[in-house]
């Protein structure tokens, strides 16, 4: 059940939600700011009433994120339930998605090699922990961390 992985604190007292930066498998992703530390964060907002069929997958995503401890995986800061809306707060990865970078023009081979190396290190970590990443695509925000970005820029 989602309530077992989500805090009852009001997330609006903890975070400011700014512009939308993407859309995830289960909801929209916004740039946000931690009101206490002023740190930029990514906030995935999910309307649970619209995602009833995905509740198990959402809970699994939260469980996996909360267990990961790697420089190659997006850091998870917490989950909050406000009404029917679930907030998943993660590390903000600036730089845009790989798709946006590809649209900007040609990507140098040396840059692609660096990115793919980092992606593979993230996948290696996940696999060593017995976890699989089933949603790798070039529209993910950020550049280097695996869980909330990634690319295939060839």
Binding residues for ATP: 44
Answer whether residue 70 is part of any domain.
yes
Distance (Å) of CA 57 to CA 17, 31, 51: 24, 23, 10
Query: Could you tell me the CATH number of the domain that includes residue 31?
Result: 3.30.200.20
- In the block, residue with structure tokens 């995602």: 51
Answer whether residue 147 is part of any domain.
no
Is 53 among the catalytic positions? no
Q: What is the pLDDT of residue 93?
A: 85
Domain span including residue 27 = 2-91
As for how many domains the chain has, the answer is 1
Answer whether residue 46 is part of any domain.
yes
Answer whether residue 122 is part of any domain.
no
Catalytic one of 10, 16, 69, 135: 135
Cβ within 8 Å of residue 45, ≥6 positions away: 17, 27, 28, 29, 30, 85, 86, 87
Answer whether residue 103 is part of any domain.
no
Binding residues: 44
Q: What is the pLDDT of residue 140?
A: 46
List the chain pLDDT tens, one digit each, 154 residues. Answer: 565 567 789 999 999 999 999 886 678 999 999 999 999 999 999 999 888 788 888 888 888 889 999 998 889 999 999 999 999 999 998 876 667 777 777 878 888 888 788 888 988 998 898 876 655 555 444 444 443 343 333 3
Distance (Å) of CA 131 to CA 33, 47, 145: 29, 26, 15
Distance (Å) of CA 61 to CA 22, 67, 147: 17, 10, 10
Q: In whole angstroms, give the CA distance from residue 46 to residue 130.
A: 26
Answer whether residue 33 is part of any domain.
yes
Q: What is the pLDDT of residue 36?
A: 97
Answer whether residue 11 is part of any domain.
yes
Q: In whole angstroms, give the CA distance from residue 26 to residue 18.
A: 19
Answer whether residue 109 is part of any domain.
no
């Amino acid at each position: 059940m989602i309530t077992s992985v989500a805090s009852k604190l009001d997330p609006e007292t903890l975070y400011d939600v700014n512009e939308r930066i993407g859309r995830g498998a289960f909801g929209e992703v916004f740039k946000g700011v931690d009101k206490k530390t002023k740190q930029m964060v990514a906030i995935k907002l999910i309307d649970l009433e619209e995602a009833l069929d995905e509740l198990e997958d959402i809970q699994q995503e939260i469980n996996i994120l909360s267990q990961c401890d790697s420089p190659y995986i997006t850091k998870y800061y917490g989950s909050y339930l406000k009404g029917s809306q679930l907030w998943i707060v993660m590390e903000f990865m600036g730089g845009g998605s790989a798709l946006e970078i590809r649209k900007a023009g040609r990507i140098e081979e040396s840059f692609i090699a660096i990115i793919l190396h980092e992606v593979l290190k993230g996948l290696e970590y996940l696999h060593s922990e017995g976890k699989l990443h089933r949603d790798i695509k070039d529209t993910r925000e950020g550049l280097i961390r695996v869980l909330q970005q990634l690319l295939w820029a060839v």
